[in-house]
């Protein structure tokens, strides 16, 4: 299959990751898959704009069915949302915690969890992500979008394998954007073409500098 985007070591494929991934060469999976929670994406339609500025998003493909992670476990992995399918994962001491620094009284999760088969111990990344109150000003293009800083942190773990990163559930492209920022080669796969377009646009933006 011809890439949807291929530039500066980052490649995007528009298609089904179950079909494409076995044909690709890569070294580590870092992804935020659909959890099977049927997450609503029509924020504006449901009146969320009365609380804060919002928009409707394209539904997340595959989110209506329980996620099955077993087909990915033969590779080094970081899998976000793993508390939603933990019973399908092997025991591991390597868990990543994204502390969103939200109030405990909020009826939404204060943190998100990722399972890993190579990270050593439990690691915590505090990064404010509370509606419009966020530690970064990046535009939200996806209903479950992760901050670029979080994915840079995942990639920067001392145990993360060198080589090519793949995100088989790319969404709006946060993982591949983070990889580009860090000078890492990466592949993103996304079944919804509109999100491929969004990811390509995010990749075209200037690479940020970090100390």
Tens-place pLDDT, residues 109-167: 899 999 999 999 999 999 998 877 889 888 888 778 899 999 999 999 999 999 999 99
Classify burial at 132, counting beta carbons within 10 Å of its beta carbon; exposed 0-12, middle 13-18, buried 19 or more. exposed
Are 165 and 155 in contact by the 8 Å Cβ rule? The answer is yes
Q: Which of 21-25, 108-112, 169-173 has the lowest mean pLDDT?
A: 108-112
How much is the average pLDDT of 39-54? 53
List the domain boundaries for the chain.
Answer: 5-204
130: which 2 tokens? 């509370």
- Report the greatest alpha carbon distance in the chain: 48
pLDDT over threshold 60, residue 209: no
Superfamily of domain 5-204: Vaccinia Virus protein VP39 (3.40.50.150)
pLDDT of residue 33: 96
CA distances from 205 to 40, 64, 184, 200 (A): 29, 33, 16, 9
pLDDT of residue 17: 97
95: β partners:
115
How much is the average pLDDT of 20-45? 82
Are 202 and 179 in contact by the 8 Å Cβ rule? The answer is no
How much is the average pLDDT of 65-71? 94
pLDDT of residue 157: 98
Are 96 and 160 in contact by the 8 Å Cβ rule? The answer is no
The mean of the pLDDT values for the chain is 89
How much is the average pLDDT of 48-67? 66
Which of 180, 200, 170 lies closest to 16, judged by CA? 170
Q: How far apart are CA 193 and CA 132, in angstroms?
A: 27
Residues present in the chain in total: 211
pLDDT of residue 211: 45
């Amino acid at each position: 299959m011809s890439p949807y985007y291929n530039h500066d070591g980052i490649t995007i494929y528009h298609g089904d990751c179950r079909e494409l991934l076995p044909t690709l060469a890569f070294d580590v999976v870092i992804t935020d898959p659909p959890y099977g929670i049927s997450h609503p994406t029509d924020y504006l339609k449901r009146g969320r704009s009365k609380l804060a500025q919002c928009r409707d998003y394209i539904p997340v493909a595959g989110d209506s069915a329980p996620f099955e992670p077993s087909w990915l476990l033969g590779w080094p992995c970081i899998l976000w949302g793993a508390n939603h399918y933990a019973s399908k994962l092997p025991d591991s001491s390597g868990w990543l915690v994204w502390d969103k620094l939200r109030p405990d009284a909020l009826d939404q999760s204060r943190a998100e969890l990722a399972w890993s088969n190579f990270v050593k111990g439990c690691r915590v990344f505090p990064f404010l992500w509370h509606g419009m109150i966020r530690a970064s000003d990046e535009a939200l293009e996806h209903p479950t979008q992760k901050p670029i800083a979080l994915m840079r942190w995942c990639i920067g773990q001392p145990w993360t394998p060198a080589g090519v990163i793949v995100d088989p559930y790319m969404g709006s492209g946060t993982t591949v954007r983070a990889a580009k920022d860090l000078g890492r080669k990466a592949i993103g796969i996304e079944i919804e073409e509109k999100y491929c377009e969004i990811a390509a646009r995010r990749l075209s933006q200037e690479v940020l500098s970090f100390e």
